[in-house]
Amino acid sequence: MSQHADLAARAGDLDATSPLSGTRERFLVPEGVIYLDGNSLGALPAAVPDVVQDVVTRQWGQRLIRSWNEFDWWGAPERTGDRIGALVGAAPGQVVVTDSTSVNLFKVFVAAGRMRPGRPVVLTDGGSFPTDLHILSSVARLMDLEVVRVTHEQAAGAIAEHADRLACIAFSQVDYRSGELWDLPGLTRAAHDAGALACWDLCHSAGVHPVGLDEHGVDLAVGCGYKYLNGGPGAPAFLYVAARHQDAFDHPLTGWQGHAAPFAMSPDYAPAHGITRARVGTAPLLSLLGLEAALTAYDGLSMADVRAHSQSLTGFFLECLDGLGLDLPVVTPRDPERRGSQVSLRHPEAYAVVQALIARGVIGDFREPDVVRLGFAPLYLSHADVLASAQHLLEVLRDKEFERPEFAARAAVT
């Protein structure tokens, strides 16, 4: 049998026994597309269009302002937060859906600084997603903090080194570019041993990894609604404050919806009890209710099964690369316990390679400077898709398809 036939047989076996077989029907993925960019914009869950249609035509169009009560629009941020909480290991009452990740990072960093007065150091990852670094450096200017950038390997040592000067660590659980999974339990423990707080960005882990926020004692966390959670373009983000910190969570964006009595219309601010104080202003309800509907794609699934399928997909992709003789440098750790839900490869013409793949219906993305980033969303991808995408990549490289002029020009926005 050829290598390809061997791999096809293995894909068949793996798909037949996967605990997630059948969840693809919960999504409307276009025919002929293998979608490997669910870590940038998740695919459309089948439940969403009808709900959004109902929200627009009936709830807004017919019931108008009465819907705030009739459909509990008011409670949607906490209600949807609890659903996300269940996916990231947080008991109810600790997650709220609100604002964007960038805005929530600002709230969390300022609050963390205020919760650890006299400790001027924040540790972060110099390779972090830019918005995390940009927001943190602005907070540092506002609050006179010192940001120290470390790698994953340096993190534990740096926590010990700064110990009693450390306010918090601010890391992403999964590196957006390399797909490396950071040691959230270990670094959280180390931060606590130093008396510091652990703030985690879950943008690339929420929805594909069980996270275990409560189990590991994470203090504060944020994450994205439109990546693996499939909330749709610009869906609001989420914010987690561990119950034990909620009374002390003093964030800077004191809007009326975080007020203890918003309809008392008081000129003076008094924060609401619980996670509600992390709200700011009126939620984008079309998006928020779309996200709530999207989360039904997880109904009945265990996050342990989701994680197992995700690890199996990324592991099988690496197996396909090896089996088909594709020897691109792999940026992502080969150890499944150190991997998120993506595989990133390096190629000097990475941009053109991605464009050539997209032309074949395999949608991944390019990340500066030379990374082909392929996200494997476990709810709508099979091992057969994985093999097909590896085969397409093989052909793009073998036939030098990426050298075609139409794949060379970089658009302003990718």
Ligand X SMILES: *Cc1c(COP(=O)(O)O)cnc(C)c1O
Binding positions for pyridoxal 5'-phosphate are 101-102, 129-132, 201, 204, 226, 256, 282
Cα distance between residue 176 and residue 81, in whole Å: 23
The residue among 278, 224, 232, 284 whose CA lies nearest residue 100 is: 224
Instruction: Quote the CA–CA distance of 35 and 376 in Å, as a whole number.
Output: 8
Active site residue 227: yes
For 241, phi then psi, to 5°, come to: -125, 120
Determine the interface stretch with ligand X among 198-206, 211-219, 268-276, 375-383 (rule: CB under 6 A): 198-206
Using the rule CB under 6 A, give the single segment among 124-132, 330-338, 348-356, 390-398 that binds ligand X.
124-132
Rounded CA-CA distance 9/280 in Å is 53
Binding residue for ligand X, selected from 15, 37, 78, 132, defined by CB under 6 A: 132
CA–CA separation, 273 and 275 (whole Å): 7
Q: What would the x/- binding string for ligand X be over residues 82 to 101, using CB under 6 A?
A: ------------------xx
Buried b (16+ CB within 10 A) or exposed e, 144-171: ebebbebebeebbebbeebeebbbbbbb
Task: Provide the minimum distance between the beta carbon of 170 and ligand X in the complex, in angstroms, as a whole number.
Answer: 11
Q: Verify binding: residue 200, ligand X, rule CB under 6 A.
A: no
Residue with tokens 């077989």: 21
Query: What is the closest distance, in whole angstroms, from the C-beta atom of residue 175 to ligand X in the complex?
Result: 9
Of 11 and 295, which CB lies nearer to ligand X in the complex structure? Answer: 295
Binds ligand X (CB under 6 A): choice among 201, 219, 385, 401: 201
Cα–Cα distance, 288 to 107 (Å, whole number): 20
DSSP SS3 for 85: helix
Nearer CB in complex with ligand X: 173/389: 173
Interface residue with ligand X among 176, 228, 376, 407 (CB under 6 A) is: 176
Part in contact with ligand X (CB under 6 A); list of ranges 26-34, 163-171, 199-207, 384-392: 199-207
- Quick check: is 226 catalytic? yes
Q: Which residues are CB-contacts of 187 (< 8 A; sequence separation ≥ 6)?
A: 155, 156, 159, 169, 171, 198
The nearest distance, CB 176 to ligand X, in angstroms, is 4
Strands (E), 224-328: 238-241
Rounded to a whole number of angstroms, the minimum distance from the CB of residue 112 to ligand X is: 16
Count of residues touching ligand X (by CB under 6 A): 13
Nearer to ligand X, 133 or 190 (CB): 133
Q: Name the binding residues.
A: 101-102, 129-132, 201, 204, 226, 256, 282
* Distance, CA of 170 to CA of 177 (rounded, Å): 17
Active-site choice (27, 71, 226, 351): 226
Specify the residue, 102 or 296, whose C-beta has the smaller distance to ligand X: 102
Q: Among residues 238 and 316, whose Cβ is nearest to ligand X?
A: 238
Backbone angles phi and psi of 123, in degrees to 5: -100, 135
Measured from the Cβ of residue 222, the count of other Cβ atoms closer than 10 Å reads: 29
Which position among 27, 71, 106, 129 bears the catalytic label?
129
Residues with a catalytic annotation lie at 129, 201, 226-227, 373
* Footprint of ligand X (CB under 6 A): 100-102, 129, 131-132, 172, 176, 201, 203-204, 224, 237
